[in-house]
Structure 1
Amino acid sequence: MADAERTFVMVKPDAFARGLIGEVVSRLEERGLKLVGIKIENMPRERAEEHYGEHEDKPFYDDLVEFITSGPVVPMVWEGQDATRQVRQMIGETDPLEAEPGTIRGDYALDLGRNVVHAADHEDEGANEREISLHFDEDELVDYEQHDAEWLYE
């Protein structure tokens, strides 16, 4: 696939605790996106601070860092045409009260501070590369032929 793009997605501790990992992965797979990296971890505080670094001066920064380090997370890398925009559309608005039914947040989240999943912002140039390299070494990402790609793209 010539125009494949990689994007970063992370199941947050609330979704992990609620057993929603499979739901998130299934929805992205069913859309036709290709999973090229996944792991389960307790995110180190230093990496959490770097991950949310652009919010460091905001009043909710400490809460973000505390929450994301409060339990296991599932960082992932997905690939597909316009993957970042596709994923952002699928997860819905950051505030679950504004997220449409049928989106991941619209279906599973009730609170802004516990909104199930993080995804790189398609409007922030470089967000994907930064977040992917922050959470994955290049040798942790797998390159393979997606068997149904000919049915997904012209």
Structure 2
Amino acid sequence: MNSERILILIKPDGVNLGHIGEVITRIELKGYEIESLKVTHATKDQLHKHYANLVDKPFYPDIESYMTEGPIVAIIATGTKIVNVFHRMAGDTDPSKAAFGTIRGDLGREWSDGLLRNVVHSSDSVESAEKEIKIWFPEK
């Protein structure tokens, strides 16, 4: 089996609530390798490229607002079938529906302002991962 790369973003709520170590620990406990990691602030340009298929949706301004609330941690992780496995580790995008034992089920929650904050982003395919990695790690 060939090794895959995935982009994982620990979103502003995950950073703010101190979940960086927990997410990294879960990656490492599965035996995956962290190739690159950086703390950064999302730019509008990065978000437009990352969420290109959502920019025209009425809820996109909420995504942009959320993703610029504070710093994020961008990670490139590698391993066999990591895209599929980490996507399952992250859980349902709605933290209220995510199974306990997943990152979103254990660390995510509903917020009073109604914005969907769900701790992490994970690429949903090898192709998406490579596109997303270029956005967040242009040097890679």
TM-score of the superposed pair, with normalisation by structure 1: 0.84
Write out per-residue CA displacement over residues 62-116 of structure 1, whole angstroms, 9 at most, x where no aligned residue.
1101111110000100100011001001000101122110000000111361100
Q: Partners of 2:71 and 2:139 in 1: how far apart?
A: 22
Shift of 1:35: 0.3
- Identify which of 111, 116, 121 aligns with 1:113: 116
Q: Secondary structure at the match of 2:48?
A: helix
Structure 1 residues without counterparts, runs of 5 or longer: 140-154
| SS across alignment from 2:75 | strand
Q: 8 Å contact 1:52–1:65 — kept in the other structure?
A: no
Q: How far is the alpha carbon of 1:137 from its aligned partner?
A: 3.0
CA RMSD, Structure 1 to Structure 2 (Å): 1.3
Other-structure match for 1:80: 79
- Alignment-derived partner of residue 133 in structure 1: 134
Q: What is aligned with 2:9?
A: 10
Deviation per CA, 1:100-142, whole angstroms, max 9, x where unpaired?
Answer: 10000000111361100001113xx621111001111345xxx
**Paired position in structure 1 for 2:67:** 68
CA distance in 1, matches of 2:31, 2:55: 35
Aligned to 1:43: 42
Q: Distance in 2 between matches of 1:65 and 1:119?
A: 17
Structure 1 residue 93 corresponds to structure 2 residue 85: no
Which residue identity lines up with residue 79 of structure 1 in the other structure? T
Larger Rg: 1
**Alpha-carbon distance in structure 2 between the residues aligned to 1:88 and 1:59:** 26
Q: Which structure's residues are more often strand, by fraction?
A: 2
Counterpart of 1:104 in structure 2 is: 103
Assess if the C-alpha contact under 8 Å between 1:109 and 1:116 holds in 2: yes
Contact residue 48 and residue 69 of structure 1 kept, 8 A? no
Unaligned runs of 5+ in 2: none
User: Which structure carries more relative contact order (alpha carbon 8 Å, separation 6+)?
Assistant: 2
Aligned length: 136
1:22 Cα deviation (Å)? 0.3
Runs (4 or more) in structure 1 with deviation over 2 Å come to none
Tell me the TM-score normalized by structure 2.
Answer: 0.92
